[in-house]
Structure 1
């Protein structure tokens, strides 16, 4: 999914790295789900290094936009990818076999999150438990296409 000659470094988390590799090497025909929930590949820039990084995330939809959840399994801290998106919101996405595009990431307002949260929990039920077990408000991020 490299653009402009810049390869992304895959997540060091074992299962994420394996799934990202399968997803990319299969052309988006394998590795596209976790527990029956659809997944995308997200390339984002490291806020300190400027290096492109890649992770696999479950996604939902809101109109033409994609929604991702910064749950970090309900941990006390936001996931690293989310902290990077806050500083560097321009990202690259791969969704399935055909969709490769750039997007802009924005954290949803409380009202927008309240509107989409039930659908995200329906898509991936563990999100409800993750929110219950942490004191932080789990962010939901909108990914809006910026170019083809």
Structure 2
């Protein structure tokens, strides 16, 4: 019945849109160095995943900038440490760092950005994390990334 009302193309677009929303998440950050979630779940059906980061604070990126970076749990702190010397112009991520699975730009209050990355090749047996690579922020701004079945 829906197909008759919407037509085949519209039904396909609705199904595509519903599928696409499973493969994305929005994470908020603020001036108190907090993410609004401690876990991001990536469904097994996704081949790519998009994270949109919103900075709900007011401070500029030079003083309270945030980004969203995904690595394995093992690589999180080393990536953040190496990123400190990369500077703000490189979003506090060492250029070409292949330990980074996905990362947004550093943003300031009132801004938003997103990243889309491939999840093919990620393993349910590996532990993943996300964090903010702005110097010192990883201590409190971090969480887990879970691959669902």
The answer to whether TM tops 0.5 is no
- TM-score normalised according to structure 1 size: 0.24
- TM-score normalised according to structure 2 size: 0.24
| Larger relative strand fraction | 1
Larger RCO, structures 1/2 (Cα 8 Å, 6+ apart)? 2
When Rg is computed on C-alpha atoms for both structures, the one with the higher figure is 2
